[in-house]
Amino acid sequence: MKITFHGAAQNVTGSKHLIETEDGFRLLLDCGFFQGHRKEAEILNRNFPMDAKSIDAVILSHAHLDHCGLLPLLVKEGYTGSIYATPATMDVAAAMLADATHIQESDAEYLNRHLQKNQVHIAPLYNEADCKATIDRFVGVQYSRLGGGWTKLSDSVRFKFYDAGHILGSAVILVEIKESGKTKTIAFTGDLGRTNAPILWDPEPIVENVDILLSEATYGDRLHEPPAETERLVREIIERAIKHRAKIIVPAFALGRTQELIYVLHKLFHTQGFPKIPVYLDSPLASHVTDIFKKHRNVFDNQTWKDFNASHDLPLMFEDLIYTRTTEESKALNEMHGPLMVISASGMMEAGRILHHLKNGIENPNNTILITGYQAENTLGRRIQDGVSLVRIFNRKYHVKARVVSAHSLSAHADQVELLEYIGAAKGLSTLFLVHGEEQTMQTFASLVRSKFSTISVGIPKRGDVVEI
Ligand SMILES: [Zn+2]
């Protein structure tokens, strides 16, 4: 068989790996957006690297756009097969893809309205019809432990899902391939979560032998703070906001971090004597995704039911959690006095309603800006996180006087120790390919794996690399 690494190879976006068997079956794992430098990402996204019509099946690990964002382009270019995903991933991906489609269409419309002479008309990468056609191709397969079992794709290829513990519905894909009378297994982690993170199961160990593992290594050179640290940090921030009647402004990542934070808040507010403050979820996408979480409570972990079972509470609902839907409701928050928390997109503070909340609250030293996720270079979020004192928002300069706090414990990715444990638990593993990580991080991690597990060969493929196995 051959594996071609079409994306998330020595970087963290554009996840796409193609497996071709001896008998000609072509299986695509993930079909994600490239993100990052705008021009470069645009070129990579517009030039689909394979013939969509020649693919026989697609399996999706999870619903983050860097893993699923190019599925509508695949369908637009002629893919007519099924897209397999867990039921929760199907629902979340539908919401994420609809949102991405809307952004693409409105971006193209904006750019076309401001075209210079001689510039050509810009078409969105895909439109609503492509998005709908993609969602229609989804086929739900439950985690193996919940009864999903093996799904047969051809006489020689079948697969099953293990829980990856990264976001709602995220899966590790185990593919079994029969070739020349031999059976081989390939596991693909997608993105791997943390142990003991709120709501989700820990990444599940694979029962079968794993001959080849494609593992993410985003934080292969780092250790995170334990998830329990989030509770301590949030408690301290809320107490400070109450004392100063101040605001806590949380730039939100719609999927994952927002729901974990809501869970932690609910747990704290649930504690006898802990002071409650109103929490406004001011992001329609995050609100929608939170509703999807409620629908898939069967994939929550045991700890969630220990935390909330007693009172039959729903983990992601509490009295003081208020969804704002309209722009007017969002604007009204600016006039309100603290203590209150507002969770609003976008996570890296580049666009969206969060800019209005920052504009309004960034110069008040009693307010807190709580950063919950990775801030890419050259974003407003990164500048604020790095401690610059003057920032530009909507063409006006503002002094950053609010306290800025980063919650490193809220990461959705396994750290170095957790990755090593996962790799160590894979039985019979002989070949490891590191994908989804920055090159330097993966080199560091590869050396560590080689020193710990001498029998495992470790590769770090580049985009476009093909390996024969
Ligand atoms: Zn992810």
The winner for highest mean pLDDT among 36-45, 171-180, 338-347 is: 171-180
Q: What is the pLDDT of residue 201?
A: 94
Pick from 70-84, 310-324, 441-455: least confident: 310-324
Half-sphere exposure of 47 (CA within 13 A, CB side): 8
Distance, CA 16 to ligand 1 centroid (Å)? 13
Domain 2-222+412-468: CATH class, spelled out: alpha beta
pLDDT at 221 over 90: yes
Measured CA to CA, the distance from residue 300 to residue 211 in angstroms comes to 30
pLDDT at 247 over 60: yes
Q: What is the pLDDT of residue 395?
A: 85
Q: What is the pLDDT of residue 226?
A: 85
Distance, CA 191 to ligand 1 centroid (Å)? 5
Q: What is the pLDDT of residue 216?
A: 96
Distance, CA 396 to ligand 1 centroid (Å)? 34
- Is the peptide bond between 339 and the residue preceding it cis, with omega within 30 degrees of 0? yes
Distance, CA 341 to ligand 1 centroid (Å)? 26
Give the residue extent of every domain in the chain: 2-222+412-468, 228-410
Q: What is the pLDDT of residue 312?
A: 60
Distance, CA 167 to ligand 1 centroid (Å)? 7
Share of the chain above pLDDT 90, in %: 71
pLDDT at 310 over 70: no
Q: What is the pLDDT of residue 313?
A: 63
pLDDT band for 191, please (50, 70, 90 cuts).
very high
Residue 443 one-letter amino acid: Q
Distance, CA 12 to ligand 1 centroid (Å)? 9
Distance, CA 126 to ligand 1 centroid (Å)? 22
Q: Per-residue pLDDT tens for 26-35?
A: 999 999 998 8
pLDDT at 333 over 90: yes
The winner for highest mean pLDDT among 104-108, 280-284, 369-373, 397-401 is: 397-401
pLDDT at 274 over 60: yes
Distance, CA 363 to ligand 1 centroid (Å)? 33
Distance, CA 70 to ligand 1 centroid (Å)? 14
Q: Per-residue pLDDT tens for 60-110?
A: 999 999 999 999 999 999 999 999 999 999 999 999 999 999 988 888 888
Q: Per-residue pLDDT tens for 392-444?
A: 998 899 999 999 999 988 888 999 999 999 999 999 999 999 999 889 999 99
Q: What is the pLDDT of residue 57?
A: 98
Token code pair at residue 172: 């590790």
Distance, CA 457 to ligand 1 centroid (Å)? 25
Q: What is the pLDDT of residue 311?
A: 57
Distance, CA 28 to ligand 1 centroid (Å)? 17
Q: What is the pLDDT of residue 298?
A: 87
Q: What is the pLDDT of residue 41?
A: 84
| Nearest residue to 270 via CA among 236, 306, 311, 301 | 311
Distance, CA 62 to ligand 1 centroid (Å)? 7
Which residues neighbour ligand 1 (ion) by CB within 5 Å?
A: 64, 191
Distance, CA 22 to ligand 1 centroid (Å)? 31
Q: What is the pLDDT of residue 149?
A: 94
pLDDT at 307 over 90: no
Q: Can you name the residues that pair with 434 across neighbouring β-strands?
A: 215
Domain spanning 228-410, CATH architecture: 3-Layer(aba) Sandwich (3.40)
Distance, CA 205 to ligand 1 centroid (Å)? 19
Beta strand 368-371 with 403-406 is: parallel
Distance, CA 88 to ligand 1 centroid (Å)? 14
pLDDT at 364 over 80: yes
Distance, CA 89 to ligand 1 centroid (Å)? 11
Mean pLDDT over each residue of the chain, to the nearest integer: 92
Distance, CA 387 to ligand 1 centroid (Å)? 27
Distance, CA 430 to ligand 1 centroid (Å)? 25
Q: What's the mean pLDDT in 287-294? A: 89
Q: What is the pLDDT of residue 272?
A: 82
Pick from 3-7, 115-119, 166-170, 256-260: least confident: 115-119
Share of the chain above pLDDT 70, in %: 99
Mapping DSSP onto H, E and C, the string for the chain reads CEEEEEECCCCCCCCEEEEECCCCCEEEECCCCCCCCHHHHHHHHHCCCCCHHHCCEEECCCCCHHHHCCHHHHHHCCCCCCEEECHHHHHHHHHHHHHHHHHHHHHHHHHHHCCCCCCCCCCCCCCHHHHHHHHHCEEECCCHHHCCCCEECCCCEEEEEEECCCCCCCEEEEEEEEECCEEEEEEECCCCCCCCCCCECCCCCCCCCCCEEEEECCECCCCCCCCHHHHHHHHHHHHHHHHHCCEEEEECCCCCHHHHHHHHHHHHHHCCCCCCCCEEEECHHHHHHHHHHHHCHHHECHHHHHHHHHHCCCCCCCCCEEECCCHHHHHHHHHCCCCEEEEECCCCCCCCCHHHHHHHHCCCCCCEEEECCCCCCCCHHHHHHCCCCEEEECCEEEECCCEEEECHHHCCCCEHHHHHHHHHHCCCCCEEEEECCCHHHHHHHHHHHHHHCCCCEEECCCCCCEEEC
Using CA atoms of 128, 129, 134, 136 in order, give the dihedral in degrees to the nearest 10: 120
